[in-house]
Chains A and B, each alone.
Chain A
């Protein structure tokens, strides 16, 4: 997957690897991209055309799927292992009493602190590049689905036939050669933007300010959740105080406490206990030795 680097947004240099003992090979060999790459989704200008969904399956070579009708325009209830990108449609009443569609492009958020990578036990099955892309390497995946448990956004999806987990790659194959992701290329309204995190953050903040000053959306803001140290996919929302309304976008996503405990203190505590146990029985043998039957029997009356 790692190809030649092209420009500031391109270089795929590995920053973190799942299930890997020791330092990341080649770390600090390249100058990191400032803030990484970023996809900006301005949900206020999304028209729900699903061009991004089509572009995603086309670029990734997956078949088009039958839609599931659920009294909504939404293609299907949830993303799938071969359907990374889904517009979530939600009917909503705004504070001023008007009704509207909330249409949110749902896909991997590419967290700076990825719960999937933290949870993954397989060496090299999940990598995080210095440009911020979190990518699954299916050839190293063992199909344990720990990433499914680790993700606070419910993104990784299991293919029960191949026993591998898949999700949005942020088109790492395109980005690494200086192209924008397929969804960005397909968007007709300019609702999707792609660039460096710094640039996208500025663009998003300006748009949110514009909405607050010139529209009824006084709570407009930028969704870049700090609980996962920010994401490489950010949203402009009409109402930043209620992200849950956008098809269950968590208001304060974090790597679950249990997962952090599991992969952190419990690992060290458990290893310490196991080595302590083995050392303990070894010392016992040296100090007291085996229970010899004959010797003990002689002492008995």
Chain B
């Protein structure tokens, strides 16, 4: 977070402008992939394709948007890899996750820039993206997989679906927490800053670190 003051009297910079851009590029591309993917997933949801311009259009863009999502994920990995490393702090936090869920936050160990839940979410999406990319490439060009190796075609459809479902589960929790469960979280990822009290409550180790630096 160089170049910007980490804290002022009333606000702490939580996400820099590039971080917010990369978050929303990956977020909106994931949303497109989710809607188009669900359309191809079940006949009951095929109508979703019509809001994306119809089945053929959704099918045409799905793999290309998938590549944009991949690029956004690589970018994210390069900037957040260090912050996302799982440490003993996270293991302690994860042991008290039931208290976090029940909003008994006084019993939850302090977290660094990202808490263990955010880190696990990140790794589910990052590893899921790798599986989705590899299986998706096969599903994009099945006719180039030789008939003798058609087992890869069959594996791809299963891997793509299972990986997608796992990321959807994580995505539901992520959106719920960002929009509803943690007030201030959505403003942080849009405008980039949080109040010192918010930072102190949710990410005390990070708050102490950035304020000590000044």
Contact = CB atoms under 8 A, between A and B. Distances in A.
Interface of A: 19-21, 121-123, 140-146, 148-149, 154, 157-158, 163, 248, 256-259, 261-262, 266-267, 270-271, 273-274, 277-278, 281, 284-285, 288-294, 296-297, 299-300
Interface stretch (B13-21, B68-76, B116-124, B147-155): B147-155
Given A293-B197, A293-B198, A261 B158 contact: yes
B46 A123 contact: yes
Given A144-B40, A144-B59, A300-B106, A19 B161 contact: no
B92 interface: no
B165 A270 contact: yes
B46 A122 contact: yes
A293 B153 contact: no
B162 interface: yes
A271 B58 CA distance: 21
Nearest to B148: A248
Interface residues of B, number: 48
A246 to B, nearest CB: 15
B157 A258 contact: yes
Contacts of B198: 293
Contacts of B184: 293
Given A142-B58, A270-B165, A121 B43 contact: yes
B143 A297 contact: no
Interface in B132-161: 139, 142-143, 147, 150, 153-158, 161
A90 to B, nearest CB: 16
A285 B176 contact: yes
B87 interface: no
Please classify the interface of chain B as helix (H, G, I), strand (E, B), loop, or mixed, using the class held by over half of its residues.
helix
A291 B74 CA distance: 31
Contact of A277 (B173, B180, B200): B173
B105 interface: yes
A290 B143 contact: no
Contact of B183 (A121, A158, A281, A291): A291
Contacts of A292: 183
22 contacts: A19-B46, A121-B46, A141-B56, A143-B56, A144-B59, A146-B157, A148-B143, A163-B56, A258-B155, A259-B157, A266-B161, A267-B42, A270-B161, A278-B172, A281-B176, A284-B181, A288-B102, A290-B183, A296-B201, A297-B200, A299-B106, A300-B106
Contact of B41 (A267, A294, A296): A267
Interface in B169-183: 169, 172-173, 176, 180-183
A290 B180 contact: yes
Given A149-B142, A154-B150, 16 more contacts: A21-B46, A142-B58, A145-B142, A163-B56, A256-B154, A259-B154, A266-B158, A267-B41, A277-B172, A277-B173, A281-B176, A281-B181, A284-B101, A290-B181, A290-B182, A293-B202
A142 B56 contact: yes
Contact of B103 (A141, A142, A262, A289): A289
A273 B158 CA distance: 16
Given A273-B165, A274-B172, A291 B181 contact: yes
Contacts of A21: 42-44, 46
Contacts of A154: 147, 150
Contacts of B195: 293
A296 B102 CA distance: 13
A298 to B, nearest CB: 10
A260 to B, nearest CB: 10
Interface in B46-64: 46, 49, 55-56, 58-60
Given A261-B158, A277-B169, A157 B183 contact: no
A296 B176 CA distance: 20
A127 to B, nearest CB: 14
Nearest to B102: A288
8 shortest interchain CB distances as A-B pairs = A258-B154, A142-B55, A281-B176, A142-B59, A21-B43, A277-B172, A121-B40, A21-B44
B168 interface: yes
Interface in B22-57: 39-44, 46, 49, 55-56
Nearest to A277: B172
Given A143-B60, A281-B172, A288-B103, A266 B46 contact: no
A221 B147 CA distance: 26
Contacts of A296: 103, 105-106, 201
A250 B168 CA distance: 38
A289 to B, nearest CB: 7
A277 B42 contact: no
A156 B131 CA distance: 26
